[in-house]
Amino acid sequence: MTTIKTPKKLIEVALPLDDINVACAYEKMPGIGAHPRGIHLWWARRPLAAARAVIFAQMINDPGYERNLGRGVNKERARVERQRLFRLISELVKWENTNNKALLDEAREEILKSWRETCELNKHHPDAARLFNPNSLPGFHDPFSGGGALPLEAQRLGLEAHAADLNPVAVMINKAMIEIPPKFSNLPPVGPVPNSRKQSKLPEQWSGPEGIAEDVRRYAEWMRDEAFSRIGNFYPEIQLPKDQGGVKSKVIAWLWARTVKSPNPAYSHADVPLASSFVLANKTGKEVYVEPIVSGDQIRFEVRYGKPPAEAKAGTKLARGAKFKCLLSGVPIDPAYIKSEGMAGRIGMRLMAVVAEGKRARVYVSPTDEMEKLAKAANPTWKPNTSLPNDPRNFWTLNYGLSKFGDLFTDRQLLALGTLSDLVAEVRSKVEKDARNAQLPDDDRKLANGGVGASAYAEAVSIYLAFAIDRCTDFVNSLCGWSSTNQKVMHLFGKQSLPMAWDFAEANILVDTVGGYLPAAQYIADCIEKLPLSGGQGFASQANASQSEIAKDMGLPSASITAEYFENIAMPGPITA
């Protein structure tokens, strides 16, 4: 077997690690705005800066590589050239340069230059025609693509990116990041401009994925409006108190506490709240809290403005875990009792407060019986009955009777999520019709069949709109807390577990707030615009890494070929992550 000549790569010599580390740390900061990771949640995301630097350095020949081939080399000239490449990497990894065309073009030229040097070294190899085409860069294959950082950055650097994973969610995320956008690159949006944005100045030209991102915004607004026309009666505005303006206002969230029957025999017929705190806002001078008013065997909640009493901070909680006290009798409620009530399906919920929009700040309103009855009157047509994993260490809800996915949502939440899910199917037909009217090819081929016409485009937009519902679900469930510091609904997946929530916030999914559908879709659209404006093609597929045919199709050896050949071919041929 003829040995392949492999130049030493820059990554084998040195990297500007300090600059890369700074860029990676900056990328993780919450204030940087939209990021491709926001298209869909995936655990263990890798920084794009590190992926970009590693792939670039893996593709670039070290300036002193000729020395390894027995040729003379000027060490000083190699050192100077290496420093030039380090400076290029240091600029390339900066967040603000993610889509810097001039910088990316320079990086692609460097990659092509090194690739042609490699091709020249191996021009007499018997497989040179197949493996070493100087006019076509090698492909990049990541058999464990996960969140897609590596294939995305390979594509950004001009390589043809192939992503594979066993998990179908990872596959869909990779399709949304590297496969779909290039199919519809530089196309203008096809959807009609919503009335709310007709005064906005729109670009004359649409670069890269900007057009499809704009359509995600437009059709998401149509979906939100259509959902409101169907179920808006469950999301009414409320009348603010006179001291807060006395006008009608949109609700941002409803704050609930779970309840059980009092364990005291004298009050066994009454529901008592399990609240970990009654504090709603804790900013100094602008504190708000809920005061539970006990009258006989009845409890009602009143919103108070001012510094809360010490007992309000702990709610009815006595200690860590499911340890509470009965507000009616003062007796402790044993955790075992709460678990037994939960397993029997007898845990209820009470509305403690309503959060509404104010002119300058959040307005907190005391609940009424009508507000609570309206929420509980929602009747979803579908409820997911798949059982949660039997893993009490990470799925804490199981001990309290919340054992199925559908148990993690209120009926109103299920109604809203189901309505929006139905609208994804409806909007797909609408997008396809608009795309035909915009003169997109009418090939009737789906994305899976390589379609690039109206039908495929409608599928593509629908995928991102469905992702927006997924994003909402992170905020629209009965395990989300209310942040008294930031005064907003907190999302569920802060960690890879489902903790039990005793008091929770129900976000209004039909308004422009945290947890709302339109803000979720708009954020995803912003993230789409952070994808490469140009670059290589991308392909994502579901595959077992040990049985994948992708590498073989790209020119990598099959499993039957010797490891020695694999080691020789892996670097100059198609790159594997």
Q: How far is CA 22 from CA 32, 85, 327, in A?
A: 14, 18, 52
Distance of alpha carbon 520 from alpha carbon 390, whole angstroms: 31
Q: What percent of the chain shows pLDDT beyond 90?
A: 75
* The last residue of a domain, from among 303, 335, 367: 367
Same domain for 276 and 355?
Answer: yes
Mind listing the pLDDT tens digit for each residue in 482-540?
999 999 999 999 888 899 999 999 999 999 999 999 999 999 999 999 999 998 899 99
Same domain for 125 and 264?
Answer: no
Mind listing the pLDDT tens digit for each residue in 366-414?
999 999 999 999 999 999 999 999 998 899 999 999 999 999 999 999 9
Mean pLDDT of the residues in the chain: 90
Same domain for 165 and 265?
Answer: no
Structural domain includes residue 5: no
Torsion, Cα 181 185 189 191, to 10 degrees, reads -40
User: What average pLDDT does range 236-255 have in this prediction?
Assistant: 92
Same domain for 260 and 135?
Answer: no
Same domain for 150 and 251?
Answer: no
Residue 507 near residue 519 (C-beta atoms within 8 A): no
Structural domain includes residue 309: yes
SS3 13: coil
Same domain for 257 and 359?
Answer: yes
Structural domain includes residue 280: yes
User: What average pLDDT does range 423-448 have in this prediction?
Assistant: 93
Same domain for 181 and 252?
Answer: no
What pLDDT, on the 0 to 100 scale, is given for residue 567? 36
Structural domain includes residue 469: no
Model pTM? Answer: 0.91
Same domain for 17 and 99?
Answer: yes
409 dihedral zone (left: phi>0; alpha: psi -120 to 50; beta): beta
**Residue 498 forms beta bridges with which residues?**
395
Structural domain includes residue 423: no
Same domain for 168 and 316?
Answer: no
Structural domain includes residue 344: yes
- Grade residue 213 by pLDDT with cuts at 50, 70 and 90: very high
* The last residue of a domain, from among 343, 367, 391: 367
Same domain for 34 and 159?
Answer: yes
Query: If you count them, how many residues does the chain have?
Result: 577
Closest CA to 311 of 330, 297, 296: 330
CA 46, 47, 51, 57 torsion-angle sign: negative
- Grade residue 417 by pLDDT with cuts at 50, 70 and 90: very high
User: What average pLDDT does range 91-104 have in this prediction?
Assistant: 96
Q: Which residue matches tokens 């030493």?
A: 8
Same domain for 26 and 171?
Answer: yes
Domain that holds residue 151: 10-185+533-576
- Grade residue 132 by pLDDT with cuts at 50, 70 and 90: confident
Structural domain includes residue 425: no
Domain count, the chain: 2
SS3 39: helix
Least confident of 58-72, 88-102, 273-287, 359-373: 58-72
Same domain for 55 and 176?
Answer: yes
* The last residue of a domain, from among 349, 367, 385: 367
